[in-house]
Structure 1
Amino acid sequence: MILTPEYVFRRIESITPEFLAQHGITALVLDVDNTLTADGSQVLDDSVRQWLDTMRAAGVSLTIVSNNTDKRVRPFAQRVGLAYVPLACKPFSPGLRVARRRLGVAKSRMAMVGDQIFTDRLAAGLYGIPCLFLLPRTPHDKNRVVRFKRKFEPYWLSKFYRNGGKIYE
Structure 2
Amino acid sequence: MALFRPTAVKPRIGEVTPRLLRRLGARAVLLDVDNTLATYTSHEPIKGALEWTRELIGAGYKVVIVSNNYKKRVSAFAARFGLPYISFAIKPLPFGYVRAAKMLGLRCRDCVIIGDQIFTDVIGANLCGMKSVLLEPLDPEEGWTFRVRRHLEKGLRNKFKVREDVIK
Q: Deviations over 1:66-109 (max 9, x none)?
A: 11111121111111111110110101011111101111112221
> 2-side partners of 1:158 and 1:82: how far apart?
33
Indicate the residue corresponding to 2:144 in structure 1.
Answer: 144
Indicate the residue corresponding to 2:68 in structure 1.
Answer: 67
Indicate the residue corresponding to 2:158 in structure 1.
Answer: 158
Contact 2:38/2:45 (CA < 8 Å) preserved in 1?
Answer: yes
The alignment's C-alpha RMSD in Å is: 1.3
Q: Deviations over 1:102-153 (max 9, x none)?
A: 1111222101110001000111111111111111122x21333222200011
Contact 1:36/1:44 (CA < 8 Å) preserved in 2?
Answer: yes
> 1-side partners of 2:125 and 2:141: how far apart?
21
> 2-side partners of 1:5 and 1:156: how far apart?
10
Report the TM-score when normalising by structure 1: 0.91
> 2-side partners of 1:149 and 1:71: how far apart?
25
Indicate the residue corresponding to 1:131 in structure 2.
Answer: 132
Contact 1:39/1:142 (CA < 8 Å) preserved in 2?
Answer: no
Structure 1 25/87 Cα, relative in aligned 2: closer, same or farther at 3 Å?
A: same
Structure 1 moving runs of 4+ over 3 Å: none
SS in 1 for 2:63: strand
Unaligned runs of 5+ in 2: none
Letter of the 1:167 partner, please give it. R
> 2-side partners of 1:69 and 1:144: how far apart?
19
Aligned pair count reads: 163
Matches within 5 A, 1:13-92: 13-92=14-93
TM-aligned CA deviation for residue 167 of structure 1:
3.2
TM-aligned CA deviation for residue 23 of structure 1:
2.1
> 1-side partners of 2:92 and 2:143: how far apart?
16
Contact 1:5/1:156 (CA < 8 Å) preserved in 2?
Answer: no
Unaligned runs of 5+ in 1: none
Letter of the 2:115 partner, please give it. G
> 2-side partners of 1:115 and 1:16: how far apart?
17
> 2-side partners of 1:104 and 1:143: how far apart?
36
Aligned-residue identity in percent: 36
Indicate the residue corresponding to 1:8 in structure 2.
Answer: 9
> 1-side partners of 2:48 and 2:39: how far apart?
13
